[in-house]
Amino acid sequence: MRRLAQMVLTLFVLITILFFLFRILPGDPLTMFLDAALPVEVQELVRAQFGLDKPIGEQYYLYMRNLLRGEFGVSFYYRRPVLEIIGDKLINTLFLMVASLTITFAVGVLGGSLVAWQRGSTLETLAVGLVIFLRSAPEFWLGMMALALFSYRLPLFPLGGMNTPGQNFHGFLEQYFSLDFLHHLLLPALVSASYYLATPFLVMRGSMIEVMKEDFIEMARAKGLRERQVLYRHGLRNALLPVVTVLALLIGFAIGGQVLIETIFRWPGMGREMVLAVQRNDYPVAQAAFFLMGVTVTFLNFLADLLYGYLDPRVTYD
Amino acid sequence: MNLLEIKNLKIVYRTQAGEARAVDGIDLNLTAGKNLGLVGESGCGKSTVVRSILRLLPPNARIESGRISFDGKDLSKLPERELESLRWQEISLIPQGAMNSLDPVYRVGDQIVEAILAHEKASRPEVWARVEKLFDLVGLAPFRLRDFPHQYSGGMKQRAFIAMALALHPKLIIADEPTTALDVIVQGQILRRIKEIHQLQGGSMILVTHDISVVAETCHEVAIMYAGKIMEFGRVEEIFQEPAHPYTMGLKNAFPSVTGERRRLISIPGKPPDLINSSPGCLFAPRCPFATSLCFREMPAEQEIAPGHLAACHHLDRREELRVRAQKEDTWGEERPVSHSS
């Protein structure tokens, strides 16, 4: 419960910072649409339409009030409701993000523990080298190399986008739960997963090595458990805890990388929309996009915390 | 018939400074139903010996030679699967670091149930009920089984381990300093508890400790270890009343008397020797107040001075005299020179 209140407070601070941040950025949202030749009265009228003539304090109050009602306002650029513009894009982004984070952690946890068991082997040296290489290479470079290799040289994957063009979808399920979607999702998800892999992989490896030295591991062996049971039930289970902590941190980073991945793979997600909105001084869209990203990060963090509390009985949230 | 026979056991640890000879040719026999105390300072190799019985040595340890047979089986040659089923079923362990020997993420009850179910086919509720009885036996409230280890005190964890160690009625319990982390009052209670229950079941125990008073209370026989070797072995009363080895005499001085007489405690000066570059002579010689040049030159062989009473010292024939001198504080005065000069 306290954790939930913290989450709300975090979001409130976030949206406040966003609101003022965009307003102190140079540039006026209306200069793009308003012809300087228009009479000043007309210019003022348009300004008033968007509520930009009011003092900033009042704008803030109105914005917050609308937000609580679930209204994100109207885009200055598209002149359509913000939710209409970014609603679908948020879902697209979430699909890609969750897919790549799942791959990152599944491979990181299993791979990291595997090389910890095979401590000192060639496999360990190679795997550690590889994940560090993937982490050191810029994400956009990885993305372009992947496209060049697996979409252009070997046409295994589509060059970008989310679905093969020219299709009409009847409803949500048909669009997102199809082989075609999966086919488009795989490459960007793998690229961003391989970029983030190093963190859970190395944390898991280190954590596993430490845990395997613990007294309770020796005890599990003394109890006559099979080596596999010792490793999974006691080793991996305990080594997982620091990885969950890292998960929470990594989610935040992943959002930033999302912008690059979406641009390279022409993924119709929110990362791209966010960048455009900032460039256009489209306050409502930018604010909403950042806000929703913030909600996503905060919420995923909250889930990670809950997961940690579930995995470690020593931690309680009251 | 001997339950456990250890013959000429040698164990080395690979370290950065070279190979450390932690256990250097040890012979031990344990009769079924008897309790054996293994006494020595920290680092003398006593834990290494008992861990080698369960084949739980760390990866940098290597058994160089020797034979460990338990109940007629050669433990060092037993296949992994058979070893796994022998562990806990026949030999259980009360660990040294009881504080960290329970897995923090599982309930204590589940961890004991896990040990039982690894060896027996039984239903969980049935096993749980059995564990509840065991908890009662060691003086813990059965509802505590549902708690996690961090909700336990040190003494409770230790009791939980005793319950776990007794669960399968093993023939041998290895208690590796089971009471070091506990205060004296709880120590006594716990040891008496282990002794009562386990002996009732007809099992044997090896008690590893640096505290000789604990041994006096619990064991029938005692082996005094120093620097990877057994210095003296015999029945408890004999060893404590008529110690033959100067090291045993020194150890006895360093602890409050078991019989309650008032006297000053005398410590043995110096520290245990370097196990990597050991000298050819008696390893205790540098700290021994009675050492002669012979002691530095030659390793004394083990001799039987009375039936079942063995000691390794060049001056066993003078033991009566040495025993009297050893009780004087002056004898143990300053640290002895490392190299002998007379």
Q: Do A35 and A98 fall within a single domain?
A: no
Which of B99, B107, B118 comes nearest A223 by C-beta?
A: B118
Q: Does B105 touch chain A (CB under 8 A)?
A: yes
Strands B229-235 and B221-226: antiparallel
Instruction: Give the H or E element holding residue A303.
Output: helix A283-311
Instruction: Kindly determine whether residue B100 and residue A223, on different chains, have CB atoms separated by under 8 Å.
Output: no
> CA B70 to CA A134: how far, in whole Å?
53
Residue A129 has pLDDT above 90, yes or no: yes
- Residue A66: is its pLDDT beyond 90? no
Q: Is residue A38 part of a domain?
A: yes
Which residues are B12's β-sheet partners? B21, B62
Whether A317 maps to a domain, the answer reads no
Based on the number of CB atoms within 10 Å of its own CB, is A30 exposed (0-12), middle (13-18) or buried (19 or more)?
middle
Task: Collect all residues with Cβ–Cβ distance below 8 Å to B247 and sequence separation of at least 6.
Answer: B224, B226, B231, B232, B268, B284, B288
Residue A221 to residue B87, Cβ atoms within 8 A: yes
Please give the pLDDT value at position A29: 65
Q: Is residue A168 part of a domain?
A: yes
Residues in chain A closer than 8 A to B84 (CB atoms): 224-226
Asked, for residue A77, whether it belongs to a domain, the answer is no
- The answer on pLDDT for B336 being more than 60 is no
| Selected residue of A118, A214, A216, A223 to mutate for chain B interface (largest B Cβ count, 10 A) | A223
136-195 of A, contacting B, C-beta below 8 A: none
Is the pLDDT score of A275 beyond 50?
yes
Q: Is residue A119 part of a domain?
A: yes
Whole domain around residue A63: which residue ranges? 2-68
CATH number assigned to the domain comprising residue A102: 1.10.3720.10
Looking at the predicted structure, is the pLDDT value of residue B221 above 90? yes
- Which one has a higher pLDDT value, A35 or B128? B128
Higher pLDDT, B340 or B102: B102
Q: What percentage of chain B reaches a pLDDT higher than 70? A: 94
- On whether both A142 and A48 belong to a single domain, the answer is no
Based on the fold, state whether residues A127 and A52 are members of the same structural domain: no
Tokens 């029945």 belong to residue:
B235
Judged by CB atoms closer than 8 Å, whether chains meet at A222 and B84 is answered as no
Q: Region A211-232: what's the mean pLDDT?
A: 92
Rounded CA separation A138/A144 (Å)? 10
Whether residues A62 and A94 share a domain: the answer is: no
- Where is the domain boundary, A20, A36, A68? A68
**Residue A316 resides in a domain:** no
Contact B100 A221 (CB under 8 A): no
- Residues A47 and A193 placed together within one structural domain of the fold: no
Buried b (16+ CB within 10 A) or exposed e, B97-126: bbebbbbbbbbbbbbbbbbbbbbeeeeeee
pLDDT at B279 over 80: no
A238 touches chain B (CB under 8 A): yes
This prediction has a pTM of 0.79
Average pLDDT (B47-63) is 90
Q: Residue B84's closest CA among A6, A213, A221?
A: A221
Q: Is A222 within 8 Å of B86 when comparing Cβ atoms?
A: no
Give the three-state DSSP class for B45. coil
Answer whether A215 sits within 8 Å of B89, measured CB to CB.
no
Residue B103 to residue A220, Cβ atoms within 8 A: yes
Residue A213, domain member (yes or no): yes
Question: What's the pLDDT score for residue A31?
Answer: 64
pLDDT digits (tens, 9 = 90+) for A196-219: 999 999 999 999 999 998 999 999
Are A225 and A150 part of one and the same domain?
yes
Residues 273-332 of B with CB under 8 A from A: none
Asked if the model's pLDDT at residue A134 lies above 80, the reply is yes
Average model confidence (pLDDT) across chain A: 84
Distance of residue B324 Cα from the nearest chain A Cα, in angstroms = 44
Tens of pLDDT along A94-114? 888 889 999 999 999 999 999
Q: Which amino acid is at B335?
A: E
User: A52, exposed or middle or buried, with CB in 10 Å at 0-12, 13-18, 19+?
Assistant: middle
Q: Which amino acid is at A37?
A: A
Of A163-167, B16-20, B220-224, B299-303, the poorest mean pLDDT is in A163-167
Chain B: nearest CA to A217, how far in angstroms? 8
Q: Which of residues 81-100 of B touch A (CB under 8 A)?
A: 84-89, 92-93, 95, 97, 99-100
Please check whether residues A206 and A264 belong to one and the same domain: yes
ipTM: 0.84
Give B259 to chain A, closest Cα distance, Å. Answer: 36
Average pLDDT estimate for B79-84: 90
Best of B56, B103, B108, B177 to mutate (most A CBs within 10 Å, chain A): B103
Query: CA dist A313 to A157, B151, B167, B316, Å?
Result: 44, 10, 25, 58
- With CA atoms as reference, report the closest residue to B17 among B276, B285, B294: B276
pLDDT digits (tens, 9 = 90+) for A22-52: 777 766 666 666 666 777 787 778 777 777 7
Cα(B107)–Cα(A130) distance, rounded to whole angstroms? 39
Partner-chain residue, chosen from A214, A226, A311, that has the shortest CB–CB distance to B84: A226
Sort out which chain B residues have CB atoms less than 8 A from A243's CB and list them.
none
Is the pLDDT at B338 greater than 70, yes or no?
A: no
Nearest CA distance, A234 vs chain B (angstrom): 7
* Range B85-114 average pLDDT: 90
Interface A–B counts its CB contacts (< 8 A) at: 68
Domain count, chain A: 2
Q: Is B79 on the interface with A (CB under 8 A)?
A: no
- Report phi then psi at B35, rounded to 5: -110, 135
B118 touches chain A (CB under 8 A): yes
Flag whether residue A228 sits within 8 Å of chain B, measured between CB atoms: no
Categorize the per-residue pLDDT at B42 as very low, low, confident or very high, splitting at 50, 70 and 90: confident
- B9: confidence class by pLDDT, cuts 50, 70, 90: very high
The answer, yes or no, to whether residue B49 has pLDDT greater than 50, is yes
My answer on whether A130 and A17 are in the same domain is no
Distance from the Cα of A248 to chain B's closest Cα (Å) equals 20
CB contact under 8 A, B54 and A222: yes
Higher-pLDDT residue of A75 and A235 is A235
Q: Are residues A132 and A234 in the same domain?
A: yes
Residues A25 and A100 in one domain: no
- A57 & A103 share domain: no
- What's residue B342's pLDDT? 39
Is the pLDDT assigned to residue B222 strictly greater than 80?
A: yes
More confident residue, B264 or A226: A226
3-state DSSP percent of chain B in helix, strand and coil, to 5: 35, 25, 40
Residue B339: band (very low, low, confident or very high) from pLDDT cuts 50, 70, 90: very low
Clarify whether residues A188 and A123 are in a common domain.
Answer: yes
Sign of CA dihedral B282, B284, B289, B290: negative
B95/A221 touch (CB, cutoff 8 Å), yes or no? no
The answer to whether the Cβ–Cβ distance between A223 and B85 falls below 8 Å is no
pLDDT, tens digit, for every residue of B139-192? 899 999 999 999 998 888 888 998 999 899 899 999 988 876 677 777 777 777
Confidence of residue B340 (pLDDT cuts 50, 70, 90): very low
8 Å CB contact between B160 and B81: no
Domain membership flag for residue A216: yes
Out of B85, B87, B101, closest to residue A216 by CB: B101
Residues 2-31 of B with CB under 8 A from A: none
Q: Which residues of A touch B100 (CB under 8 A)?
A: 214-216
Note the pLDDT of residue A67.
83
Residue B147 touches partner A, C-beta closer than 8 Å: no
